[in-house]
Amino acid sequence: MVYVQEFEFYDSGGCVVASPCGGLDGGTFGDDLADAVESAADWLSVMVDDCLIGGTELPEWSLGNEPTHGGRIIAVAVDRSIHDIPSMTASEAAKALGVSSARVAQLINSGLLESWKDGSRRLVSKASVQARLESMPKAGRPKSRATA
């Protein structure tokens, strides 16, 4: 499905800011207009992916917005579906993380891994597995303050 969002692009501090219209929080920037448009498309893709993974409704986006920072309005479109999100099975995630499938289920339930169902398969986003690998705590129980 194609998702369209208008952004206001304006110069600020030596870069081009891309601010989403319609009251959405966040935004991005680039070195020049082309880079900012590409960053806005990436931002929109992440926003759509988060909603698709979470099964939540996308915000109502409007067209025909007016600039509020003296910039110009450009509509950015991305074609996304749940199948576009790089993923692996829960079993593959367990192997990549070096944990059991039960531990992957715990990480999913606690919100530490992003996942969704595709038919009977549980898929986990590769990005959330990579983030977990980068911040993975060491094995074992943390030391108490008295023994640390």
The neighbour count for residue 114, using CB atoms within 10 Å, is 21
pTM: 0.78
Q: Could you report the average pLDDT of every consecutive run of 10 residues in the chain (148 residues)? A: 95 96 89 98 94 86 92 96 94 95 95 92 94 80 66
- CA-CA-CA-CA torsion sign (96, 97, 98, 103): negative
For residues 28 and 36, is the Cβ–Cβ distance under 8 A? yes
| Cβ atoms within 10 Å, residue 69 | 12
Name residues whose C-beta falls within 8 Å of residue 112's C-beta, 6 or more positions apart in sequence: 128, 132
User: Angle of helix 126-135 relative to helix 90-97, nearest 10 degrees?
Assistant: 20
- Distance, in Å, from the CA atom of 119 to the CA atom of 99, rounded to the nearest integer, reads 24
pLDDT tens digits along 53-83: 988 888 788 899 999 999 999 999 999 999 9
